[in-house]
């Protein structure tokens, strides 16, 4: 730890990086009844903290290494840091990025003078190609997180936080991808103020550091979700794992809805838009307040970046209310007879309806997909469910049902009487030119497509809900075809929301 403190204090970052403010969040502080502060790394020249570690590493290269040029692999923010740092120091930079990288980040790298090479669908694909180019052409490889100079550069954020807030601090929440930021901040903060908790936060579908710490060794995840692309890393770094397992007090997990809610919180207090990875630590902070109602000292989150595609905002806005527990999504069964629709709306009273999907259904029952704004959280939700059930309605809370939120809400009314042998699957595939056609070709033409819903959410991965007629005797061959296709999928045939709104 002493070695890292020396490295951090000696780090060269301010030739190009800014000392970012530690801003109060008055709205959120009032709601959570704590002093909530946000470290504004979104205000760096590249809108991300990554400039610190990248510049510190490149600035320390010997002259012969500089002459050969530098290379890195990155989904975006580290790439921009390397490109800007190299430009500042007059060094050629080659940046290998996954094909799925948001266009805003590709354009930014080119703006800073980096030569962009697009390779593969994931960070690991890009990393392997960058290492091959390093060996072939003699470039100096600038690792995004698992390097002492990179870790030290990121650790300067810890120095600034302790200088900016001399009053008691209970905890600092840090987003974790590979672990460089958490390692740097923890090394400095735990040396000077060991009583301050340093807590990492990861997406629930990209928990490489928590998985490693729980297992006692680094684990390669089979796959990671890419909603928070800035922290989508399948394996924690060797050096960062060594540091984090020793110094971090905990690693919390946050899901997509919680990150979206945190993006909204930051906007409401700061009028700025954080990327999902940038809001990740605040999502963890909020979860911490629920689990720890008695708190002493400030709670600090790192807004690590603001590089988000504009198209993704619609998805964030759609999910933020559910993530904040301010909206509930329900599937309600009502009698299919004259006046029942009106009666149900009357039962809802003056509650704010955020979504209402209904279509006439032949037979005795109809199903309504309804969203309602909540003023409170658990108590109001429980009271609403009890009231509806007490009036004889069949009610299913679908607020946490991913298929309902991504697809079914747009497809209510698509029931087909008499449809036999339908299998419904939810797929993910890289959002790139030709991906949808590859998907259709891969599924083949032997099975009749009975349902298909696709919507581009401005994310790195596209999502499809597909129904196909597959006779029971063909299921094994169909499964083999899907394995050959290679796209991750979930079988949703038994999902109760599908059966209510779309099934026979």
- The CATH number covering residue 431 comes to 3.40.1020.10
Q: Mind listing the pLDDT tens digit of every residue in the chain (504 residues)?
A: 789 999 999 999 999 999 999 999 999 999 999 999 999 999 999 999 999 999 999 999 999 999 999 999 987 789 999 999 999 999 999 999 988 777 778 898 999 999 999 998 777 788 899 999 999 999 999 999 999 999 999 999 999 999 999 999 999 999 999 999 999 999 999 999 999 999 999 999 999 999 999 999 999 998 888 788 889 889 999 999 999 999 999 999 999 989 999 999 999 999 999 999 999 999 999 999 999 999 999 999 999 999 887 878 877 887 777 777 778 889 999 887 766 777 887 888 777 777 777 766 667 787 888 888 887 656 788 888 999 999 999 999 998 888 888 788 877 766 677 778 889 998 877 766 566 667 777 777 788 877 777 655 555 567 778 888 899 999 999 999 888 888 888 999 999 888 888 877
Q: Which of 100, 98, 212 is nearest to 146 (CA)?
A: 212
The catalytic residue among 105, 304, 399, 405 is: 304
Whether residues 347 and 360 fall in one domain? yes
- At residue 491, the pLDDT reads 93
Whether residues 92 and 235 fall in one domain? no
- At residue 377, the pLDDT reads 57
Whether residues 274 and 352 fall in one domain? no
- At residue 317, the pLDDT reads 80
Whether residues 156 and 225 fall in one domain? yes
Tell me the backbone φ, ψ of residue 22, rounded to 5 degrees: -110, 100
- Whether 167 is in a domain gets the answer yes
- Whether 409 is in a domain gets the answer no
- Whether 332 is in a domain gets the answer no
- Whether 186 is in a domain gets the answer yes
Instruction: Identify the three-state secondary structure at position 19.
Output: coil
Count the domains in the chain.
Answer: 4
Cβ-Cβ contacts under 8 Å for 45 (sequence gap 6 or more): 16, 17, 18, 51, 84
Instruction: Quote the CA–CA distance of 127 and 71 in Å, as a whole number.
Output: 10
98, 126, 141 — which closes off a domain? 141
Q: Do 501 and 367 form a contact (C-beta atoms < 8 A)?
A: yes
> Domain residues for 396?
343-400
Q: Which of 270, 271, 219 is nearest to 245 (CA)?
A: 219
Whether residues 300 and 167 fall in one domain? yes
- Whether 410 is in a domain gets the answer no
Whether residues 305 and 350 fall in one domain? no
Whether residues 292 and 212 fall in one domain? yes
81, 106, 141 — which closes off a domain? 141
- At residue 418, the pLDDT reads 76
- Whether 454 is in a domain gets the answer yes
Instruction: Quote the CA–CA distance of 117 and 124 in Å, as a whole number.
Output: 14
In eight-state DSSP terms, residue 48 is B
Whether residues 22 and 95 fall in one domain? no
Give alpha helix (H) positions in 92-237. Answer: 103-111, 123-137, 148-164, 180-192, 208-215
Whether residues 245 and 291 fall in one domain? yes
- Whether 408 is in a domain gets the answer no
> Which H or E run includes 256?
helix 256-270
Instruction: Quote the CA–CA distance of 103 and 107 in Å, as a whole number.
Output: 6
141, 170, 203 — which closes off a domain? 141
Whether residues 93 and 163 fall in one domain? no
β-sheet bridge partners, residue 334: 366
| 74 annotated active-site | no
Whether residues 68 and 204 fall in one domain? no
28-33 long-range contacts, Cβ below 8 Å, gap at least 24? 28/265, 28/268, 28/269, 28/286, 32/286, 32/289, 32/299
The catalytic residue among 39, 50, 105, 405 is: 50
- Whether 336 is in a domain gets the answer no
Q: Do 139 and 94 form a contact (C-beta atoms < 8 A)?
A: yes
Whether residues 358 and 381 fall in one domain? yes
| 34 annotated active-site | no
Q: Write out 360-395 in H/E/C secondary structure.
A: CCCCCEEEEEEEEECCCCHHHHHHHHHHHHHCCCEE
- The CATH number covering residue 171 comes to 3.40.50.1100
């Amino acid at each position: 730890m002493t070695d890292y403190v020396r490295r951090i204090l000696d780090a060269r970052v301010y030739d190009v990086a800014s000392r970012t403010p530690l801003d109060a969040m008055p709205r959120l502080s009032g709601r959570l009844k704590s002093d909530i502060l946000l470290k504004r790394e979104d205000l760096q020249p590249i809108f991300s903290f990554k400039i610190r570690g990248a510049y510190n590493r490149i600035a320390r290269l010997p002259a012969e290494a500089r002459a050969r040029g530098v290379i890195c692999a990155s989904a975006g923010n580290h790439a921009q840091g390397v490109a800007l740092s190299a430009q500042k120091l007059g060094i050629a930079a080659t940046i290998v990025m996954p094909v799925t990288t948001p266009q805003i980040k590709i354009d930014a790298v080119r703006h800073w003078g980096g030569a962009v090479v697009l390779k593969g669908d994931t960070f690991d694909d890009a990393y392997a190609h960058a290492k091959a180019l390093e060996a072939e052409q003699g470039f100096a490889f600038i690792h995004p997180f698992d390097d002492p100079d990179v870790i030290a550069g990121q650790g300067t954020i810890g120095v600034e936080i302790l200088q900016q807030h001399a009053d008691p601090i209970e905890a600092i929440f840090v987003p974790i991808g590979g672990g460089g930021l958490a390692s740097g901040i923890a090394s400095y903060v735990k040396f000077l103020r060991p009583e301050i908790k340093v807590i990492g936060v990861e997406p629930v579908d990209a928990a490489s550091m928590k998985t490693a710490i729980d297992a006692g060794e680094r684990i390669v995840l089979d796959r990671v979700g890419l909603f928070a692309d800035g922290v989508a890393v399948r394996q924690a770094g060797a050096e960062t794992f060594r540091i984090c397992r020793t110094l971090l007090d905990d690693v919390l997990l946050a899901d997509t809805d919680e990150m979206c809610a945190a993006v909204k919180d930051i906007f409401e207090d700061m009028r700025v838009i954080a990327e999902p990875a940038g809001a990740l630590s605040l999502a963890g902070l909020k979860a911490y307040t629920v689990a720890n109602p008695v708190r002493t000292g400030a709670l600090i989150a790192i807004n690590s970046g603001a590089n988000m595609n504009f198209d993704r905002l619609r998805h964030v806005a759609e999910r933020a209310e559910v993530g904040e527990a301010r909206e509930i999504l329900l599937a309600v069964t009502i009698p299919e007879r004259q006046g029942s629709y009106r009666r149900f709306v009357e039962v809802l009273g003056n509650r704010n309806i955020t979504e209402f999907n209904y279509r006439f259904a032949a037979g005795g029952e109809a199903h309504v997909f309804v969203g309602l704004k909540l003023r409170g959280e658990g108590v109001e939700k429980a009271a609403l469910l009890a009231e509806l059930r007490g009036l004889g309605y069949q009610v299913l809370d679908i607020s946490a049902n991913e298929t309902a939120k991504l697809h079914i809400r747009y497809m209510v009314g698509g029931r087909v009487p008499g449809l036999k042998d339908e299998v419904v699957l939810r797929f993910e595939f890289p959002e790139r030119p030709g991906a949808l056609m590859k998907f259709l070709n891969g599924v083949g033409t032997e099975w009749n497509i009975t349902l298909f819903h696709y919507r581009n959410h401005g994310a790195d991965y596209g999502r499809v809900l597909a129904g196909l007629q597959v006779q029971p005797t063909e299921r094994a061959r169909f499964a083999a075809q899907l394995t050959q296709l290679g796209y991750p999928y979930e079988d949703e045939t038994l999902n109760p929301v599908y059966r209510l709104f779309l099934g026979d």
